[in-house]
Amino acid sequence: MLTFAGRGRRRRVLRERNMKAKNSARIKKQVAVFNAQAFLDSAGVSRTIVEFQKKDTIFSQGDVCKNVMYIQKGSVKLSVVSKTGKEVVVAMLKPGDFVGEGALAGQPVRIATATATATSTLLVISLEEMARVLHAEHALSDHFIAYMLGRNIRIEEDLIDQLFNSSEKRLARTLLLLARYGKKDKSHRVLPKISQETLAEMVGTTRSRVNFFMKKFEKLGFIGYEGGLQVNDSLLSVVLHD
């Protein structure tokens, strides 16, 4: 039979074991997260880092899907050309985004063209390696699933925007998204140079309409052109206005 002192020592031992177990689990989780990001930040087996200059074509619509890419630095434009030759910009991607991930779902050919809109660094991962690591690294698969869910929500919002909102609201929303409105990093409020033609393709309107609304936004103080295209939080009022 344990004495009072013996029971006290036993409780202390159990508490210490529990604390060690929790610390071990926390350390393992931190290591897993670190490994996932390290995988995306470095070259290795079946993955290479490639640099593209502005306007370089990363892949073209109709190319065979052979890999998945991750943007480390720079920006990438995804565009689609119809049979009649009309081009539409479907997405502007930034560091932390994946490119060509549809290949993992069995997409045989690229359905869009990816073009670097600035000097960009991408990690090119073979399909086999990406599939393997998604099964082996839970931290990376969690990260990838969260990214894809966010991308799916964005696509749904874009569709609703196209169906129900005016071109003025769509332009305002596009500018806010490009400026990463709501993110903590304020530096993203100044956009790199982007042409009105590209904005028109993204919004689904004409360049003349974009030019008209951009002048209106500037006059109202919603945007500026100091050191690039500056997008102010006040532009949100256009999106929220009924």
Spatial separation of the C-alpha atoms in residues 199 and 211, rounded to whole Å: 10
| CATH number where 223 lies | 1.10.10.10
Q: How many structural domains does the chain have?
A: 2
148-162: pLDDT as tens digits: 999 889 888 888 888
Q: Are residues 66 and 158 in the same domain?
A: yes
Domain containing residue 185: 166-240
Q: Are residues 70 and 124 in the same domain?
A: yes
Choose from 109-123, 190-204, 223-237 the range with maximum mean pLDDT: 109-123
Q: Are residues 96 and 116 in the same domain?
A: yes
Q: Which of 200, 154, 144, 160 is nearest to 180 (CA)?
A: 154
| CATH number where 134 lies | 2.60.120.10
| Beta strand segments in the chain, E | 47-52, 57-59, 67-73, 76-81, 87-93, 98-99, 113-116, 120-126, 190-191, 223-224, 229-231
In a domain, 22, yes or no: no
Q: Pick from 147, 162, 177: which residue ends a domain?
A: 162
In a domain, 126, yes or no: yes
Spatial separation of the C-alpha atoms in residues 56 and 113, rounded to whole Å: 11
Spatial separation of the C-alpha atoms in residues 47 and 219, rounded to whole Å: 48
Q: Are residues 218 and 140 in the same domain?
A: no
Q: What angle do CA 98, 59, 117 make, to 5 degrees?
A: 70
Put simply, whether the predicted model's pTM sits higher than 0.75 gets the answer no
- 223: helix, coil or strand? strand
- 8 Å CB contact between 197 and 207: yes
- 8 Å CB contact between 32 and 137: yes
Spatial separation of the C-alpha atoms in residues 242 and 239, rounded to whole Å: 8
Q: Are residues 52 and 153 in the same domain?
A: yes
At 32, the pLDDT band (50, 70, 90 cuts) reads: very low
Max Cα-Cα span within the chain: 90
- Integer angstrom CA distances of residue 110 from 25, 29, 205: 41, 35, 25
In a domain, 189, yes or no: yes
Q: Which amino acid belongs to residue 223?
A: I
In a domain, 31, yes or no: no
Tally of CB atoms within 10 A around 157: 12
Q: Are residues 79 and 67 in the same domain?
A: yes
Which of 25-29, 71-75, 206-210 has the weakest average pLDDT?
Answer: 25-29
183 or 210, which is more confident: 210
Q: What angle do CA 116, 225, 155 make, to 5 degrees?
A: 45
Edge-first strand listing for the sheet containing 47-52: 47-52, 120-126, 67-73, 98-99
In a domain, 19, yes or no: no
Q: Are residues 180 and 147 in the same domain?
A: no
Query: What tokens were used for 227?
Result: 């050191």
How far is C-alpha 66 from the geometric centre of its chain's CA atoms?
Answer: 21
Q: Are residues 64 and 97 in the same domain?
A: yes
**For residue 40, pLDDT beyond 70:** yes
In a domain, 81, yes or no: yes
Q: Pick from 132, 162, 192: which residue ends a domain?
A: 162
In a domain, 24, yes or no: no
**For residue 131, pLDDT beyond 90:** yes
Q: Are residues 154 and 201 in the same domain?
A: no
In a domain, 40, yes or no: no
Give me the pLDDT at residue 180, please. 77
Q: Are residues 174 and 158 in the same domain?
A: no
218-241: pLDDT as tens digits: 999 999 988 788 999 899 999 887
Q: Are residues 70 and 57 in the same domain?
A: yes
Q: Pick from 102, 132, 162: which residue ends a domain?
A: 162
Q: Are residues 186 and 216 in the same domain?
A: yes
**For residue 175, pLDDT beyond 60:** yes
Spatial separation of the C-alpha atoms in residues 101 and 120, rounded to whole Å: 18
